[in-house]
Structures are given as structure tokens and as C-alpha cells.
């Protein structure tokens, strides 16, 4: 079978139900992020406590996950976020998702709360709930190794000590580094007494048109490998971005007080600690580093948020902090943002040792490491920091002015957005809070994107001046839609049209791959509509939690403090221009002027079953 | 005129350093690419495709704007200008 089962686990009752996902739902959302968001909207009531038993946690593979399609390793973990209080969703690679499909499942929905630490084990179309007492308290790699030893070759998605202790920015991990990092979904696992979901399978995935799939994938691989981006990502990985952002004056530094930092975190310095480059299942890019300090990474995000943002220059120190976060199961983006926030608040005297116990200062590696451990175990000031953005109430309203979040979620990547206006709109409107992976609109400044190509992709009027606000909402709209579609397919964004290149997987490739896999004849427009449906469904979830136009904004610093260094010097986001761009974005989406999904559209999406 | 050029990977590998200050007698960015390709032959394959056209995989900033937002390769350079050469890449 190409379709796999939907497993619904009620941990409170200790019951498992296995059923099919109707084709009508699959055609509307395909899989992955889209179907996860649909289930969240249908199953979670407004006002539900994210750390209570009524929250629903979904592990959902993409439509093409586990097939021959290049880079089809992805799955999404979704729940109401304990960090932001709105839609929580995180996309992840590795080997777990393919294994889950081979074990017979497209998706597992977890309800309730187990009365003792538990594990879900999926295999041969069945899910068992087993005791996790021997695994509780283990770090993320140790628990996966123990599960492999005890259950035999399983792949697992787990929470670390941080998740067990319900740190609001605890992540879900698989493998040595892959993380469903954002939104505190590891804490949702911890709140349900769920240490791991393990999978082992021996069933291949039946493809509707096997020869067509072989031919299409071979052609696609050749197409992707012709790009100069693929070998660069495979040899240097995302650390290359650090040097670019730093040269530009677009790297978050010391809680965005500065926008440039040391060359010591450039890719060539990181390479000194790289043992080899590795990939996820079916990956042809191989962008991940196995580092010589006992972990994987760092990505650009870790270099920025655990390096420049904390005022740390030493490359080995940053890699060690990266490895510590991964082992404890802490989201790197949130960890680096909250630590830097606390350091600045301490420097400004907004918080003091009565709260922090220790003296806080940028550049103190040992302090940062200690605080990460303390956060994960909720010790001392770590227990305070573990509450994330909620500390605005504790630290006072002035503290909010220095917090780099949108909708209570720290900005995911280390990119200072003051220069690039489309990028700024993207993080302001992303459905899970300040996040670059929902839209990351940068293609419009691509060197030789001729006007006619730019207009074909985005529509008319988009300039390739990054500092212009003109029509930039169109780049966010386009990118939001296509990235939502590829998240539903379970394919990595690194090979998605518009993320890195116009020469990657676009709607036309998606249409061919979907046909080869399932036999469905979707039009390109149908796939684009899936993306729009996902964005609207996620917005409906957030509207129901009280999200309106007032929340689609940026950290105060990006509006009011011009960037102080390098090319970006003097640039900031103009409030009036931003407001105009936001209004135009709502018009494209068909939302009301207050950012609400209109009643007719809501009714249409609610009727999908 | 005197220009300050900054290169990031992979262009800095071809040049052998990150920053170059140079005297330039030409007028445009296109002419500057030709001059640099002559001076640093390893740059030639990074700047140009096999058919001799400038590669898609190069972004040049002239002071605070990408040349794609100015006049492209015809963008004029002036004394004291700073140029940044980088590879278009995204990620997280």
C-alpha cells in the first residue's frame, strides 16, 4: 500500500486505535504539516493548556516521505505550543519518518497523559505502549542508543531531560542532531510522560507507477546536482551563511545590540572540527557535519545564536554549546535568544542577582553552558529561564523591549532583518511565531533573476532591492505557499524552488512526483492551493487563540534601533511602510484587515473531513 | 580609482584572501569582473559559466545595494566604493 495507517493513541486510557486517513483529507492537505495542522484545528479546543492532557501531539510524515524521492526524509511534530500558546509545529529530517512509514504508519496522534513514563513502539501496523522507566532521565542520544539495543534497530523521536522537565522550549530529537526544534514540542512529550516514539518496519512503500518514479527521480537528481548550490551545501553546509551574514552586517550579535561579529565562526574555522558530512534518509545534499567534539552540527543557526548572539568567539566553545543543547533536548534558537536577552537585561540593570544568582555577561562560555544544564533540569535561575517569554511578567514590561520574539516565539535564525524588508514581513506573519523557515523570501534579490522570471514567480512590481517595501508581500505570499506545500510532501526545503534557487523542486516537479507515487493527476494549481489551505487552517487555529493584526509585528529593536555596522548600517524597519506591506499581505491572503480568516473560507475549510 | 573588495567563500578561496584593495581604471562592475578574472584566474570559473555568461551563483553588493537592484553589470563604480562578492545560499 502507498497509504499507511493513522494511529490514535490515548495515553490516559492506554488505548490505541488504528484507522485510515480518508482520501478526501489527503487530497486537501497531502500529509506532513498540512494534515497535522488540520488535526490540531479539529481536535484542540481554544484555551487548552499546552502542558495539560487535553493537548494533542501529532507525529506526521509527508506524502512522499520514505520513497525514492530525493531528500524525502521529513516529518512534522505538531501540538499547541507551550512556548507561544499558539500553533506549535516543527519539521524534522533524519531516518525516523521513513522508518515510521515502513512500520505501517503515516501519522500518530497522541492524546491524554500516561500515568508513568512510557514509550510508543510502532511496528508491523501495530503500536504498543511500553514502560519507559529505564529510559527516563537519559540524554537524547543515549536513549536512542538504548532503544536501538533493546528493541532492535529502531529509529526514534525522543525528548531529552529538558522535555521531561517541561522546559517550554524543549525540542523533539532524532538521530544525533535532527530536531523538531521549535515551539517546545519536547515539553509536550514530557507533559504526557512520553519519552520516545520508536519505529521499526520491513514493509516497502508501494508506488503507483514504479518505472515512472525511477525515471522522474533520476531526472530530478541530475537536475539538482547541476546546481552549484548542491555541492556547496554538501561540502560546507549552512555555516557558509555565517560569513555572508557577518560580512553584510546581518548577524544577530549580543541580543541584536550589534549586527556583526568575529570571523572566528566562519565556515573555514568550523571545518577544522568536521569529521565528515552526512545526510538524512534519501538525501543527495549531505549538509550535516559530524563534528570532532562528539556531536553533529553546528548549523548557521547555532553559530549565530550560541556564538555571536552570546558574544562568544571561540569556535570549539560554540560547537560544544551546540552539542549540549542537542543532548539535553533544548531548542538552539530559543536557548540562544533567551540567554542573550537575560545577559542584556542584566547589563542594563533590569534584572539583578536577586533573580539571576550569578553575574551574567556576554562572552562567558562556562556561564552559558551551566545555564543550559540548569534550564534543562530547572535548577536555580535556569528554572526561571525555562519559562521563556513568559518571564516578561516576572522581569517587568521594559524587558519586552529587548526580547527578540514574535508571538512569544524567539526568532529562529540568526539573521538580523533590519535590512531585508521581505524577510521582516515573513517572520512577522509566520504561523508559528518568528520563523524564517515558513517563508524566507530572499530569491528576489538573486543576481540574474530577469524581470520576466521574477514576475512569473511572484507577480508584478517586486523589485530586487532588499531595502524596498514595494510589493514585497508578494514574495512572502509565494514563499509561504510553496514551502507549506513541500512541508506536506515531506521533502527538504533545501531542494525547494525559491528557497535557494529558482532551479529546484517547483510545482511542476511536485505534480510529477505525486503522480508517480500515487497515480493522482493534480494540477500545479491544486498543489499551490494545498499550501494556501494549510496557511489558512493554521491562521484559523491562531485566530481562535486570539491572534490578530496586533500580533503580526516585530521586536521593537528592529523598528526603533538602526543597525549600527557594515552594509546594513542605518537600516531599520519603518513602522508605516511595514504596516502597508502587512495590509497588502492580508489582501493577498483574503484575510480581513484585522488578520482574520473570513467566515466563508473558515466554513469551507471546516467542512473538509 | 581605489576600490575595496570583500570576498566570501568560495570566491575568497580563489583569491587567496578575503579583502583586496585595488586601483581600478575601468568604469563598470562588468569590467571589474573581467579585470579580477585576469588577475585571479581561479575566479574566472567562479564568475563565468562555460558559455561565457556571468553565473547565476554570484551576488555582488556595491556599497549597500545589490547590483541587480542598480544597473546590473553596467553599474558604475566610483572611487572609494566597497564591493562584496558572495554566493547565494539560504538555510537555517
- Tell which A residues from 356 to 395 touch B, by Cβ distance under 8 Å: none
Compute CA distances A257 → A117, A301, A311, whole Å. 43, 18, 11
**One-letter-per-residue 3-state SS of A70-139:** CCCCCEEEEEECCCCCCEEEEEECCCHHHHHHHCCEEEEEEECCCCCCEEEEEECCEEEEEECCCCCCCC
Compute CA distances A52 → A56, A171, A172, B62, B63, whole Å. 9, 17, 18, 54, 53
Contact A457, B61 (CB under 8 A): no
The C-alpha cell of A24 is what? 478526501
Provide, as residue numbers in chain A, all residues whose Cβ is less than 8 Å from the Cβ of B47: none
Span B56-66, pLDDT tens digits: 889 999 999 99
Rounded distance, CA A222 to CA A200, Å?
A: 31
CA terminus-to-terminus distance, chain B? 39
**Radius of gyration over every alpha carbon of chain A, rounded to an integer in angstroms:** 22
**Which pLDDT band, with edges at 50, 70 and 90, does A448 fall under?**
low
Q: Do B88 and A437 touch (CB under 8 A)?
A: no
Distance (Å) from the C-alpha of residue B19 to the closest C-alpha of chain A?
11
User: What residue in B sits closest to A235 (Cα-Cα)?
Assistant: B10
Contact A325, A331 (CB under 8 A): yes
Contact A496, A482 (CB under 8 A): yes
Rounded distance, CA A441 to CA A420, Å?
A: 9
Q: What is the pLDDT of residue A442?
A: 78
* Residue positions counted in chain A: 609
Q: What is the pLDDT of residue A502?
A: 81
Q: What is the mean pLDDT of residues A65-78?
A: 98
The C-alpha cell of A229 is what? 548550490
When scoring B11, B51, B92 by the number of chain A Cβ atoms within 10 A, the one with the most, hence best to mutate, is B92
| Nearest neighbour of A436 by CB, restricted to B65, B88, B92 | B92
Contact B9, B87 (CB under 8 A): yes
Q: What angle do CA B81, B83, B85 make, to 5 degrees?
A: 175
When scoring A181, A303, A447, A467 by the number of chain B Cβ atoms within 10 A, the one with the most, hence best to mutate, is A447
Total domains, chain B: 1
Compute CA distances A59 → A163, A180, A297, A347, A501, whole Å. 16, 10, 24, 41, 29
Q: What is the mean pLDDT of residues B20-24?
A: 97
- Whether the CB of B4 is below 8 Å from some CB of chain A: the reply is no
- Tell which B residues from 32 to 61 touch A, by Cβ distance under 8 Å: 54-61
Backbone CA torsion sign across A249, A250, A253, A255 = positive
Rounded distance, CA A602 to CA B11, Å?
A: 50
| DSSP character string of A193-211 | TEEEEEEE-------SSHH
Please give the interface size between A and B, counted as residue pairs whose CB atoms are below 8 Å apart.
Answer: 104
**Which pLDDT band, with edges at 50, 70 and 90, does A454 fall under?**
confident
User: What residue in B sits closest to A463 (Cα-Cα)?
Assistant: B69
Structural domain boundaries, residue B59:
2-86
Provide, as residue numbers in chain A, all residues whose Cβ is less than 8 Å from the Cβ of B90: 241, 440, 442, 499-500
- B72 lies in some domain: yes
Residue A514: is its pLDDT beyond 90?
Answer: yes
Provide, as residue numbers in chain B, all residues whose Cβ is less than 8 Å from the Cβ of A464: 66, 68-69
Mean pLDDT of chain A: 96
Provide, as residue numbers in chain B, all residues whose Cβ is less than 8 Å from the Cβ of A247: 6, 8, 84, 86
- B20 lies in some domain: yes
Q: What is the pLDDT of residue A446?
A: 63
The C-alpha cell of A414 is what? 540568526
Residue A447: is its pLDDT beyond 70?
Answer: no
Q: Do B84 and A247 touch (CB under 8 A)?
A: yes
Q: Do A268 and B9 touch (CB under 8 A)?
A: yes
Provide, as residue numbers in chain A, all residues whose Cβ is less than 8 Å from the Cβ of B46: none
Rounded distance, CA A451 to CA A107, Å?
A: 42
Beta strand A57-61 pairing with A105-111: antiparallel
Span A116-164, pLDDT tens digits: 999 999 999 999 999 999 999 999 999 999 999 999 999 999 999 999 9
Contacts of residue A125, defined as CB under 8 A and 6 or more positions apart, other chains included, come to A5, A18, A103, A104, A105
Q: Do A248 and B59 touch (CB under 8 A)?
A: no
Contact A199, A154 (CB under 8 A): yes
CATH number for the domain including B42?
3.10.20.30
Provide, as residue numbers in chain A, all residues whose Cβ is less than 8 Å from the Cβ of B67: 447
The C-alpha cell of A50 is what? 499546552
Phi and psi angles of residue A535, each rounded to the nearest 5 degrees, phi first: -60, -40
Rounded distance, CA A311 to CA A365, Å?
A: 9
Residue B92: is its pLDDT beyond 70?
Answer: no
Q: What is the mean pLDDT of residues A473-486?
A: 97
Residue B91: is its pLDDT beyond 70?
Answer: no
In chain A, the domains with their CATH numbers are 5-200 (3.60.9.10), 232-410 (1.10.569.10), 421-606 (1.10.599.10)
User: What residue in B sits closest to A454 (Cα-Cα)?
Assistant: B68
Orientation of helix A315-328 relative to helix A140-151, angle to 10°: 50
The C-alpha cell of A493 is what? 526545503
- Whether the CB of A501 is below 8 Å from some CB of chain B: the reply is yes
- B91 lies in some domain: no
User: What residue in A sits closest to B66 (Cα-Cα)?
Assistant: A465
Q: Do B8 and A447 touch (CB under 8 A)?
A: no
- B19 lies in some domain: yes
> What ipTM does this complex have?
0.92
Q: Do A236 and B9 touch (CB under 8 A)?
A: yes
Rounded distance, CA A329 to CA A413, Å?
A: 18
Using a 10 angstrom Cβ sphere, with 0-12 exposed, 13-18 middle and 19 or more buried, the burial of residue B50 is exposed
- A450: which DSSP letter? -
- B13 lies in some domain: yes
Q: Do A466 and B88 touch (CB under 8 A)?
A: no
Collapsing DSSP states into helix, strand and coil, what is residue A597? strand
Where does residue A547 fall: left (phi above 0), alpha (psi -120 to 50 degrees), or beta otherwise?
beta
Q: What is the mean pLDDT of residues A219-244?
A: 92
Q: Across-strand partners of A15?
A: A10
Rounded distance, CA A298 to CA A322, Å?
A: 6
Q: What is the pLDDT of residue A126?
A: 98
Q: Which of A141, A99, A98 is nearest to A121 (CA)?
A: A99
| More confident site: B91 or A345 | A345
Q: Do A463 and B69 touch (CB under 8 A)?
A: yes
CA A363 from chain centre, in angstroms, equals: 27
Q: Which of A436, A246, A543 is nearest to B18 (CA)?
A: A246
Compute CA distances A274 → A86, A236, A278, A288, whole Å. 38, 10, 11, 10
- Tell which A residues from 147 to 186 touch B, by Cβ distance under 8 Å: none
Amino acid at each position: 500500500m502507498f497509504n499507511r495507517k493513522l494511529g490514535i493513541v490515548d495515553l490516559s486510557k492506554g488505548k490505541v486505535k488504528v484507522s485510515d486517513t480518508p482520501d478526501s483529507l489527503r487530497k486537501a492537505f497531502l500529509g506532513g504539516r498540512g494534515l497535522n495542522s488540520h488535526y490540531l484545528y479539529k481536535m484542540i479546543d481554544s484555551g487548552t493548556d499546552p502542558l495539560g492532557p487535553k493537548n494533542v501531539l501529532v507525529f506526521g510524515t509527508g506524502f512522499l516521505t520514505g520513497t525514492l524521492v530525493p531528500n524525502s526524509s521529513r516529518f512534522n511534530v505538531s501540538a499547541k505550543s507551550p512556548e507561544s500558546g499558539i500553533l506549535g509545529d516543527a519539521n524534522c529530517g533524519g531516518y525516523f519518518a521513513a522508518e515510521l512509514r515502513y512500520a505501517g504508519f503515516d501519522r500518530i496522534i497522541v492524546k491524554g497523559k500516561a500515568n508513568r513514563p512510557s514509550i510508543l513502539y510502532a511496528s508491523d501496523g501495530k503500536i504498543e505502549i511500553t514502560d519507559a522507566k529505564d529510559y527516563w532521565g537519559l540524554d537524547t542520544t543515549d536513549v536512542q542508543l538504548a532503544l536501538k539495543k533493546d528493541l532492535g534497530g529502531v529509529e526514534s523521536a525522543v525528548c531529552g531531560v529538558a522535555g521531561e522537565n517541561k522546559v517550554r522550549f524543549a525540542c523533539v530529537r532524532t538521530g544525533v542532531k535532527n530536531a523538531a526544534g521549535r515551539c517546545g514540542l519536547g515539553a509536550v512529550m514530557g507533559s504526557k510522560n512520553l519519552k520516545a516514539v520508536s519505529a521499526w518496519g520491513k514493509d516497502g512503500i508501494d508506488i503507483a507507477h514504479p518505472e515512472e518514479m525511477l525515471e522522474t527521480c533520476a531526472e530530478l537528481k541530475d537536475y539538482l546536482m547541476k546546481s552549484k548550490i548542491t555541492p556547496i551545501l554538501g561540502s560546507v553546509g549552512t555555516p557558509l551563511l555565517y560569513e555572508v551574514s557577518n560580512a553584510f552586517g546581518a548577524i544577530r550579535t549580543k541580543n541584536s545590540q550589534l549586527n556583526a561579529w568575529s570571523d572566528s565562526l566562519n565556515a573555514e574555522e568550523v571545518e577544522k572540527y568536521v569529521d565528515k558530512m552526512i545526510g538524512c534518509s534519501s538525501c543527495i545534499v549531505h549538509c550535516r557535519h559530524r563534528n570532532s567534539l562528539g556531536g553533529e552540527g553546528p548549523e548557521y543557526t547555532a553559530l549565530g545564536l550560541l556564538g555571536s548572539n552570546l558574544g562568544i568567539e571561540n569556535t570549539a566553545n560554540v560547537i560544544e554549546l551546540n552539542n549540549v543543547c542537542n543532548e539535553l533536548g533544548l531548542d538552539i534558537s530559543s536557548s540562544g535568544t533567551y540567554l542573550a536577552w537575560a545577559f542584556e537585561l542584566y547589563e542594563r540593570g533590569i534584572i539583578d542577582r536577586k533573580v539571576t544568582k550569578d553575574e551574567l555577561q556576554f562572552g562567558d562560555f562556562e556561564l552559558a553552558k551551566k545555564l543550559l544544564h540548569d534550564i534543562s533540569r530547572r535548577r536555580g535561575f535556569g528554572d526561571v529561564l525555562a519559562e521563556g517569554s513568559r518571564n516578561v511578567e516576572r522581569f517587568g514590561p521594559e524587558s519586552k523591549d529587548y526580547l527578540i520574539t514574535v508571538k512569544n516565539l524567539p526568532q529562529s535564525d540568526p539573521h538580523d532583518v533590519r535590512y531585508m524588508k521581505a524577510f521582516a514581513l515573513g517572520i512577522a506573519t509566520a504561523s508559528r511565531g518568528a520563523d524564517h523557515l515558513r517563508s524566507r523570501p530572499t530569491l528576489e534579490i538573486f543576481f540574474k533573476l530577469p524581470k520576466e522570471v521574477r514576475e512569473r514567480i511572484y507577480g508584478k512590481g517586486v523589485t530586487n532591492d532588499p531595502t524596498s517595501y514595494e510589493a514585497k508581500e508578494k514574495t512572502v505570499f509565494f514563499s509561504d505557499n510553496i514551502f507549506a506545500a513541500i512541508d506536506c510532501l515531506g521533502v527538504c526545503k533545501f531542494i525547494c524552488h525559491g528557497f535557494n534557487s529558482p532551479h529546484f523542486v517547483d510545482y511542476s516537479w511536485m505534480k510529477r512526483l505525486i503522480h508517480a507515487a500515487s497515480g493522482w493527476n493534480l494540477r500545479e494549481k491544486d498543489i499551490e492551493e494545498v499550501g494556501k489551505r494549510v496557511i489558512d487552517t493554521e491562521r484559523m487555529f491562531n485566530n481562535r487563540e486570539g491572534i490578530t493584526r496586533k500580533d503580526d509585528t516585530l521586536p521593537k529593536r528592529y523598528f526603533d534601533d538602526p543597525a549600527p555596522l557594515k552594509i546594513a548600517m542605518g537600516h531599520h524597519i519603518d513602522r508605516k511602510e511595514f504596516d502597508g506591506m502587512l495590509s497588502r499581505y492580508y489582501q493577498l491572503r483574503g484575510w480581513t484587515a484585522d488578520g482574520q480568516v473570513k467566515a466563508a473560507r473558515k466554513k469551507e475549510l471546516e467542512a473538509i473531513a | 580609482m581605489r576600490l575595496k573588495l570583500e570576498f566570501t567563500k568560495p570566491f575568497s578561496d580563489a583569491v587567496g584572501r578575503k579583502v583586496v584593495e585595488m586601483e581600478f581604471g575601468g568604469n563598470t562592475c562588468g569590467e571589474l569582473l573581467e579585470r579580477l578574472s585576469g588577475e585571479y584566474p581561479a575566479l574566472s570559473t567562479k564568475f563565468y559559466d562555460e558559455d561565457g555568461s556571468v553565473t547565476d551563483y554570484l551576488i555582488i553588493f556595491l556599497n549597500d545595494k545589490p547590483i541587480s537592484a542598480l544597473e546590473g553589470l553596467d553599474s558604475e563604480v566610483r572611487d572609494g566604493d566597497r564591493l562584496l562578492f558572495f554566493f547565494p545560499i539560504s538555510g537555517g
